[in-house]
Amino acid sequence: MEMTEVTGVSLKRGSVAVEDNDRAAPAEEAKRQKILDHCLTKSQSELEHVSPPSGVNVPEPPEAVSAREGTKNSDVQLEEEEEEEEDGLSEEGEEEEEAESFADMMKHGLTELDVGITKFVSSHQGFSGILKERYSDFVVHEIGKDGRISHLDDLSVPVDEEDPTEDVFTVLTAEEKQRLEELQLFKNKETSVAIEVIEDTKEKRTIIHQAIKSLFPGLETKTEDREGKKYIVAYHAAGKKALAKVRTAADPRKHSWPKSRGSYCHFVLYKENKDTMDAINVLSKYLRVKPNIFSYMGTKDKRAITVQEIAVLKITAQRLAHLNKCLMNFKLGNFSYQKNPLKLGELQGNHFTVVLRNITGTDEQVQQAMNSLKEIGFINYYGMQRFGTTAVPTYQVGRAILQNSWTEVMDLILKPRSGAEKGYLVKCREEWAKTKDPAAALRKLPVKRCVEGQLLRGLSKYGMKNIVSAFGIIPRNNRLMYIHSYQSYVWNNMVSKRIEEYGLRPVPGDLVLKGATATYVDEEDVNNYSIHDVVMPLPGFDVIYPKHKISEAYREMLTADNLDIDNMRHKIRDYSLSGAYRKIIIRPQNVSWEVVAYDDPKIPLFNTDVDNLEGKPPPVFASVCFLERRMEKTFCTRSITP
């Protein structure tokens, strides 16, 4: 079961003249208004939630949304383009880039119709507003499996007598750290690095030993006398294999972890404008460890402020807390040591605080829409972030993977496309189209960790005749994102057909869940269920399909895509689809809201966890302008990976 609470939707009156320093240039604003008008004409609404199976957040622009209660999209996560690998997380830079790319993204990207989002749960007029005009307009707090909402409210480090002192972070000079890092990563020909102990005491030598072993995992140390001077010598104990090996509880570094302490340090991560996987990459870079020693229960939006629990293997709270001095737009706290890591999907859900800016519509229209949300709910469509923002949808790549069409997979990922992309990606794609030389195209990329860079590295390593292995270099979650996108695309289209054919009532042949098992609705018990009980399957080898017209619609859609609905197992196990079930209508609980007017767009509408830690008072409005909405959502799902 997953619960999603959404708190604090701030709807800001469009009737108030507001100069917003995040506003796009006039030409872009005109295009944005054109899109807004189109949304008003269609009376379409989008609400957001985080969907558990997804491993990836695909960037999207802020969107003008029509908040009619036929809310079409419950997991829209509107995000910007993938950032470069620099760790400076400037809000201003992010906002400027977004203003430049918004119109192009909307011009060349997908529309809701393209991904099967066509129906509403109600017919009222609705109202319109702008969702995620700023990333701080969307705040997510994770809800753990015990029902506790994660908050960052304690930056203290657990007292542990076996932890080294704070001196480990300052005892080494910048030059020494650079040499040690190059040694650790085999970036030079040195087999060891010797550091002279200037003040030769046992305590000083101990601190240097601790600093090297803590800050540079994989290195061992020893003390040597050289010409009457003491040196600490750092070296690799077992060559490159020691660095490449993923350390586990069964294979710990012998010197580094007390037996009485849990192997995993759990902590709360507060992040701004960064998705979970990017955040893990940043943390691993600063800690000089591999990203796969981190675990978490769910991925969170990039274009948002999010708070979630993270676990990391055998890294002390002390080292993690030190990152608070190094990183922008990150805060780590609420540290504890536990025996086990975290697992994807273990959370109950997410708690949201959402702002909708520049709303239009009367108080009556707002009230009607919000009451409809409270009483009926919204269609549980997969949102646009599942399908990408460029002219090459992610579901097309997923379909090619399932078809075993690997040349098409390669071409779809690397070929030039319309839409806003970073300049180096455009040049990379142009080079690929011109030469089909993976090494030449890779040289155009200053950022090698993007999907395109990883695929090109794979092609350089394995050759053009082994695309499967080349594609396998891409992290598993990113690869599975493509086939999950195809599943989502099918599900959206089938749900639209189901609602068009049978409306918002259960009918014989529908599916409902009893525990984790799907069963059919029979004629005699149809009145025992409501539309909120009905689920639809994501295609796979371990699901059943409705016993009415929609079953044949599934078959026809997959057949048209050259896929066999009766055989969703792939010769590569990772790409076999077991399937899952998803409720078609979600009704939130505890919905409340407030609408007000304001005259300064820079004033925050609520305090973040960091604001509260810093003791900032709650915002005060001349005339209150806050729509607060609280949502709870429950739905059952089964894993969509084998």
512 — phi, psi (to 5°)?
Answer: -135, 160
Sign of CA dihedral 388, 392, 393, 394: negative
Give the single-character DSSP code of 73.
B
* Residue 63, CA distances (Å) to 23, 87, 204 in order: 13, 26, 57
CA distance 580 to 612: 40
Q: Which of 62, 58, 57, 60 is nearest to 22 (CA)?
A: 62
* Residue 293, CA distances (Å) to 169, 181, 282, 478 in order: 22, 19, 13, 17
Give the single-character DSSP code of 168.
G
> Which residues touch 561 (CB under 8 Å, ≥6 apart)?
399, 402, 403
* Residue 166, CA distances (Å) to 157, 171, 275, 573 in order: 12, 9, 30, 47
Tokens coding 132 = 């995620």
Query: Is 20 known to be catalytic?
Result: no
Q: Which of 22, 301, 510, 609 is catalytic?
A: 301
Question: Is 47 in a helix, a strand, or coil?
Answer: coil
Q: Which of 56, 109, 136 is nearest to 303 (CA)?
A: 136
Q: Which of 550, 553, 548, 554 is nearest to 508 (CA)?
A: 548
Q: Which of 353, 354, 362 is nearest to 14 (CA)?
A: 362
Contact (CB, 8 A) for 111 and 269: no
Residue type, 255: H
Pairing of strands 349-360, 2-13: parallel
Q: Which residues are catalytic?
A: 301
